[in-house]
Amino acid sequence: MGRLFGTDGVRGVANADLTAELALGLSVAAAHVLGEAGTFEGHRPTAVVGRDPRASGEFLESAVVAGLASAGVDVLRVGVLPTPAVAYLTGALGADLGVMLSASHNPMPDNGIKFFARGGHKLPDELEDRIETVYEEHRSGEPWERPTGEGVGRVRTYDEGFDNYVAHLIGVLPNRLDGLRIVLDEAHGAASRVSPEAFARAGADVVAIGAAPDGLNINDGCGSTHLDQLKAAVVEHGADLGVAHDGDADRCLAVDAEGNEVDGDQILAVLALAMRDAGGLRRNTVVGTVMSNLGFKQAMEREGIDLVQTAVGDRYVLESMKEHGYALGGEQSGHVIILDHATTGDGTLTGLMLAARVAATGRSLADLASAMQRLPQVLVNVPDVDKSRVETSELLASAVADAERELGTTGRVLLRPSGTEPLVRVMVEAADNDQARSVASRLADAVKSALG
């Protein structure tokens, strides 16, 4: 697998890349590293462990719990809950760490392990690196120091986590959702119980689809990566809107009453205006990425809201928000972070806040989302090229300059080397699809010529 920790924990095919032995070993290593860092100083440590409904999560959860308890950590098993719920409970219960078993929007055979620090925040890179180093050292034969007797960790089921998390979601809503009919697509994932319950308690008339997980059907033709079922259901039931989550419910995409997709940029625009009007948009700023649609940037400019753009990835959005004290940020994929109420992207919270804006204004989601006009965006991957020369190729720079002159202020060009593959991503936005495709095709040819 190369380096174990990626941008979102450790992820791979369960029982092939991500084995029970690896899950157990990483958990023991995490306990030792956090202990050495002083996280457990002066008290008996506690961990919150949750998972999504994947079949492999059953044995991987057992391995994680065994590893933590064998290292002297008491464990609260919260069962199947969304990633942001595990992050929230880690903070709310004063736990020393949280562990979530999920591969998010990946297909069912995959799984992953994500660690949260005290407070429910993502572990710093240096601690992840240290956990990996310690794990490798002990995998090669150096024995662990293990507690015995009353020093071993105790394990108990914490069923109250479900109600605690739902109560938190309801408690931060600015208004109720009475009068709204909402279709929820839960991707047969971790929010299959939580999200319908939260929306119903908030007053919505809920129609739930993709909410019958059997361990094998997560993300299978449903959820935020497959919106067709949600679009059809919203129209069929005459709903005011639809909300789709991914497997671990840290993302949210939406559908308006006519069955049209409302993506992460549009959701961010609606929430930015809502928070500004309520006085909650700190420093009058929203955080996006370089992939945010140009229409989003133009909408924020028209509304007098500042936009900060980071590298692609929710971790970079969150870093910028925490460093500068911003309240709202997110990605086109629907990974939205509302930092006053969550330490990570929370799809259920995002959906609730979006619905609350519809209820409070009496305006349709389509009308609210029209605050930004999404420009056609074409993305072309150019494989088998020397991505290291993107910044230095004069031929490529000339091609980009020509494209930018053609597009003027109504479009945008972005060339981005892949972080994991030998390819360059060409992104073009333009006033219409034909122009965007034409410019993207020419630039892709230029990339092949210049870097092939």
State yes or no: pLDDT of 272 exceeds 70.
Answer: yes
pLDDT digits 0-9 by tens, 82-126:
999 999 999 999 999 999 999 999 999 999 999 999 999 988 889
pTM given for the model: 0.92
Give me the active site residues, please: 104
Which pLDDT score, from 0 to 100, does residue 2 have? 53
Q: How confident is the model at residue 390 (pLDDT cuts 50, 70, 90)?
A: confident
Is residue 184 located within the same domain as residue 201? Answer: yes
Is residue 149 located within the same domain as residue 9? Answer: yes
Is residue 359 located within the same domain as residue 381? Answer: no
Average of pLDDT values for 150-168?
Answer: 98
CA-to-CA distance for 111 and 105, rounded, in angstroms?
10
Is residue 174 located within the same domain as residue 289? Answer: yes
Which pLDDT score, from 0 to 100, does residue 315 have? 86
State yes or no: pLDDT of 1 exceeds 50.
Answer: no
Is residue 168 located within the same domain as residue 26? Answer: no
Specify whether the CB–CB gap between 329 and 316 falls below 8 A.
no
Is residue 111 located within the same domain as residue 225? Answer: no
Average of pLDDT values for 40-65?
Answer: 96
CA-to-CA distance for 255 and 234, rounded, in angstroms?
8
State yes or no: pLDDT of 17 exceeds 90.
Answer: yes
Which pLDDT score, from 0 to 100, does residue 386 have? 86
State yes or no: pLDDT of 214 exceeds 70.
Answer: yes
Q: Which residues are annotated as a binding site for Mg(2+)?
A: 104, 246, 248, 250
Q: How confident is the model at residue 409 (pLDDT cuts 50, 70, 90)?
A: confident
Is residue 358 located within the same domain as residue 434? Answer: no
Which pLDDT score, from 0 to 100, does residue 420 have? 64
Instruction: Residue 445: give its domain's CATH number.
Output: 3.30.310.50
Is residue 132 located within the same domain as residue 192? Answer: no
CA-to-CA distance for 60 and 242, rounded, in angstroms?
33
Whole domain around residue 88: which residue ranges?
A: 5-158
Last residue of a domain, one of 322, 350, 369: 369
Is residue 147 located within the same domain as residue 168? Answer: no
CA-to-CA distance for 21 and 233, rounded, in angstroms?
43
Which pLDDT score, from 0 to 100, does residue 21 have? 96
In percent, the amount of the chain with pLDDT more than 90 equals 83
Last residue of a domain, one of 123, 139, 158: 158
Give me the chain's average pLDDT, please.
94
Is residue 149 located within the same domain as residue 169? Answer: no
pLDDT digits 0-9 by tens, 326-367:
999 999 999 999 999 999 999 999 999 999 999 999 999 999
Q: What is the tally of structural domains in the chain? A: 3
Instruction: Residue 190: give its domain's CATH number.
Output: 3.40.120.10
CA-to-CA distance for 61 and 428, rounded, in angstroms?
43
Is residue 236 located within the same domain as residue 96? Answer: no
